[in-house]
């Protein structure tokens, strides 16, 4: 955040005081104490450079379980980059929980055992389930206690995921290891005969700060402003791994499980990423791109064709630089994962021309438009460095319902970041939506934003309109920025479906 804008947003004009310190002297003090430079609390955030590894360790693939299982949140260890370090996990000796795979229409019964020393819970990100099972920030499980999540999976095939969601502790618990994939299959998807088995590769992409004592999580004020980012890129819990592939099509299913870092994904040989799905499942038809943005919480389903390459060749999944994503994002390109071509094979798979039947929700069906200013950043009273990220000037309050929505209605929600200088991936619990329009900034939708979504990236200078057909799942849900530091700082509101 610029110095002048910081003064404006904090209300520290000429003659104003903060606990007896003038705005000028306060800012000078910040500078003297490295609060506004790369040594610590930079008010606008600083890029955290990625240190690439040697890509010599094989890509691990999380074990798969059914919808009837137990997840135990616990302090454990994980072998990362050849060293065993303390982490949090949903299973012993692992950074990530198991991948839960179910068929649409089944009833899931997942017992959550909290063996942490603090409260926690599980949010089923992307699942349209009753509010009491959704993992609301106040529906937490005490240390040593358990809760049985029971819900019917009544939605189309998609890659979803799960992670903790306790108020003001989501970012730390997720960063230190608590996350996992949740895959739904259905008959429509099966009829496409997409690459499966060993030819379907799930990728959980995260950045971490690693040390011999574990995963470091200690955000400065500047890192609360920009989001907490790490120097090491993990894929499925391993740093700079490689995956062996043959000369055929693969289905690569990606989750951005990072707290704040946005990735601009591409292949090092400039081959196409053929997008077939996103948060809410299959798109209407495939879309080939050379690079695509993936924000925290978003998922991407792509086909990659390694045909034409020869054994011994290497191709990297990488992240390219990003324009206009704030001071801390996208200043560096880096490699994420190495694909090693091991064998030449024949492949009869062809990319389907049509993937799914998706009806576009008409704006004329909307009964109400709601506007949300998501760029307001201001400090609380005195020297309280919390609540800097707000929606319509408000921070999360468990005792306040911010929006009341009638069940089975359709609404347009507008996320306005036109005056902001940071990106915000906005996530809604309990529903899927369609992205209707983006103005300012990039000025248009990107291929991965067609179909159904539950998270949408709103860059600085942008206004994004989404159309939401609300269901009959009444109760209290939240919507928030999925930059988890922003969320824990209060950038989250509640809506009640009645």
Residue 374: enclosing H or E segment and its boundaries? none
C-alpha 338/C-alpha 358 separation (Å) is: 34
Under the phi-then-psi rule, with left for phi > 0, alpha for psi from -120 to 50, and beta for the rest, what region is 170?
alpha
- Per CATH, the architecture of 363-497 is what? Sandwich (2.60)
State which residues of the chain have pLDDT below 70.
1-44, 376-385
pLDDT of the residue at 2? 43
pLDDT of the residue at 36? 38
pLDDT of the residue at 33? 34
Question: Domain 197-343 classified CATH 2.60.40.420?
Answer: yes
C-alpha 18/C-alpha 120 separation (Å) is: 35
Note whether 465 and 442 are within 8 A (CB).
Answer: no
DSSP 2-58: -HHHHHHHHT--TT-EETTEEHHHHHHHHHHTTTTSTTS--TT------------EE
Q: Where in the chain is the domain with CATH 2.60.40.420?
A: 57-190, 197-343, 363-497
DSSP 221-251: HHHHHH----SEEEETTEESEEEEEESSEEE
pLDDT of the residue at 10? 41
Note whether 253 and 201 are within 8 A (CB).
Answer: yes
C-alpha 242/C-alpha 339 separation (Å) is: 6
Nearest CA to 249 among 197, 303, 294? Answer: 303
pLDDT of the residue at 494? 98
Q: What is the CATH number of domain 57-190?
A: 2.60.40.420
C-alpha 161/C-alpha 200 separation (Å) is: 17
CA angle 30, 31, 37 (to 5 degrees): 105
pTM of the entire structure?
0.92
pLDDT of the residue at 384? 54
Scanning the structure block, which residue is given the tokens 């360790």?
57
C-alpha 206/C-alpha 229 separation (Å) is: 9
Nearest CA to 483 among 180, 255, 258? Answer: 258
The total of other beta-carbon atoms located within 10 Å of residue 353's CB is 7
């Amino acid at each position: 955040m610029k110095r002048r804008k910081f003064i404006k947003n904090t209300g520290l004009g000429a003659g104003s005081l903060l606990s007896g310190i003038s705005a000028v002297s306060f800012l000078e003090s910040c500078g003297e104490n490295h609060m506004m430079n790369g040594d610590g609390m930079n008010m606008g955030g600083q890029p955290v450079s990625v240190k690439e590894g040697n890509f010599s360790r094989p890509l691990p693939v999380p074990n798969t379980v059914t919808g009837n299982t137990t997840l135990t949140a616990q302090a454990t260890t994980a072998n990362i980059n050849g060293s065993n370090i303390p982490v949090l996990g949903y299973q012993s000796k692992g950074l990530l929980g198991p991948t839960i795979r179910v068929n649409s229409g089944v009833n899931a019964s997942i017992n959550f055992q909290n063996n942490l020393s603090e409260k926690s819970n599980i949010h089923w990100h992307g699942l349209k389930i009753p509010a009491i099972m959704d993992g609301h920030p106040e529906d937490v499980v005490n240390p040593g206690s358990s809760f049985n999540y029971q819900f019917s999976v009544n939605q189309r095939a998609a890659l979803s995921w799960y992670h903790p969601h306790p108020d003001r502790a989501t970012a730390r618990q997720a960063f230190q290891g608590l996350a996992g994939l949740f895959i739904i299959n259905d008959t429509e998807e099966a009829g496409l005969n997409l690459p499966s088995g060993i030819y379907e590769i799930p990728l959980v992409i995260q950045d971490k700060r690693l040390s011999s004592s574990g995963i470091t999580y200690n955000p400065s004020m500047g890192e609360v402003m920009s989001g907490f980012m790490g120097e090491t890129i993990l894929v499925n819990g391993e740093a700079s791994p490689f995956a062996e592939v043959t000369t055929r099509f693969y289905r690569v299913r990606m989750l951005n499980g990072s707290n704040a870092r946005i990735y601009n994904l591409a292949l090092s040989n400039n081959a196409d990423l053929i997008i077939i799905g996103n948060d809410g499942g299959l798109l209407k038809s495939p879309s080939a791109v050379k690079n695509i943005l993936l924000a925290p919480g978003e998922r991407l389903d792509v086909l990659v064709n390694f045909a034409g390459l020869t054994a011994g060749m290497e191709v990297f999944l990488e992240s390219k630089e990003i324009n206009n994503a704030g001071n801390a994002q996208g200043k560096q390109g880096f490699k994420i994962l190495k694909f090693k071509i091991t064998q030449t094979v024949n492949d009869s798979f062809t990319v389907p021309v049509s993937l799914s039947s998706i009806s576009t929700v008409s704006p004329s069906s909307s009964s109400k438009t709601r506007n949300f200013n998501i760029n307001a950043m201001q400090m609380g009273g005195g020297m309280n460095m919390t609540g800097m990220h707000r929606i319509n000037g408000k921070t999360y309050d468990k005792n306040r319902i911010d929006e009341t929505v009638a069940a089975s209605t359709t609404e347009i929600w507008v996320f306005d970041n036109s005056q902001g200088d940071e990106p915000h991936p906005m996530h809604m619990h309990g529903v899927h939506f369609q992205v209707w329009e983006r103005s300012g900034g990039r000025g248009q939708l990107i291929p991965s934003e067609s179909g159904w979504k539950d998270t949408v990236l709103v860059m600085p200078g942008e206004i994004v309109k989404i159309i939401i057909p609300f269901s009959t799942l009444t109760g209290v849900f939240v919507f928030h920025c999925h930059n988890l530091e922003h969320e824990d700082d209060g950038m989250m509101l509640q809506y009640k479906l009645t």
